[in-house]
Amino acid sequence: MKKRIEVNSTDSSSLVATKSLNDDDTAWVDLLLSKTALIIATVVIIAAVYHLGSISSDMVKKNELEVIAIDLASNIDSVGTVHSGTDNAVKIYNFDSSAVQEIDSNRLNISVSGEYVSCTFSDDGNKLSAVRPLNYRTLPFSPKNLRNILTREFSADGNSSQPVNSIFPYTDLTEFLSIAAAEELSLNISKEVNIEKTQVFVTDGNEVNELEYVLVYQ
């Protein structure tokens, strides 16, 4: 019973408080609430604008990376379009230094593997990267290196005088080369890149065929 009275008394006291709040004409609470909301909203808007700005600067950097990757990949592909027996199957590619403006070229990492060109740039914690696939069969080896690898595996260097023994569809050779080419080759941006078309000759005993590859090396 006693308890109930207590509850009643708190109830009535809160009622009194509500009443005094209702009758309060100074509107301090109103003012404080609206100003707090205003400050929070302003902070949110400023943060959003600032975030948008930082995103756009990231986008500029990302664009530069993509330009570098696309330029290198299309140069490799353009050597791939050269048919065997014609000239200019060798191309020397220089990285365009004017493409690198926002990003620090010392922290830029360009690598090429048998399947893609990738450009990564790490800038205090956030990592940007641009990757472009290659359309032609590419090997990140120098011609000498390629012949050495072939000699070691097939005891023939794949030149026209020493074709590799393999039976159509040459799966052992192509699989071996694509696995070997999966390892990325890091490129130094200040040195020139050699891109070269080469042929690997294969024979099944009575017929000689040539498989075409693009070599990328420094």
Partner 1 sequence: MNLNMSSFISDERAFLEPNNDIIATAMVVIGFVVFAAILSKTFIAFDDNSQALENYEHAAMIAQDIASYPPLQGSRPELISAESLDRITAPSSNEERYMFFQRFSPNLNFYVEVVTDDGNYQWTITDGAVSRNGRDVIASSLPIVIELGSSARCVPGTITVKIMQNKWE
Interface residue list for partner 1 (CB under 8 A)? 27, 30-31, 34-35, 37-38, 41-42, 44-45, 48-49, 52, 70, 74, 77-78, 80-81, 83-85, 115, 133-138, 168-169, 174, 178, 209, 211-212
Closest to partner 1 by CB, 109 vs 209, is 209
Distance between CA atoms of residues 131 and 65, nearest Å: 9
Smallest distance, partner 1 to C-beta of residue 155, A? 23
**Min. distance of Cβ 38 from partner 1 in angstroms?**
5
Nearer to partner 1, 1 or 49 (CB): 49
Nearest to 104 by CA among 128, 130, 71: 128
Dist CA 162 CA 157 (whole Å): 6
Q: How far is the CB of 34 from partner 1 (least distance, A)?
A: 6
Q: Rank residues 105 and 209 by Cβ distance to partner 1 and give the closer one.
A: 209
* Cβ density class 86-115: b for 16+ within 10 Å, e for less: eeebebebebeeeebeebeeeebbbbbbbe
The distance of closest approach from Cβ of residue 134 to partner 1 in the complex, given in angstroms and rounded to an integer, is 6
Bridge partners (DSSP) listed for residue 15 = none
- Measured from the CB atom, is 105 or 201 closer to partner 1? 201
Look-up: residue for tokens 């070997």? 180
Shortest Cβ distance from residue 23 to partner 1 (Å)?
Answer: 17
Nearer to partner 1, 74 or 126 (CB): 74
Q: How far is CA 188 from CA 30, 67, 107, in A?
A: 64, 17, 11
The closest of 89, 166, 179, 106 to 139, measured between CA atoms, is: 179
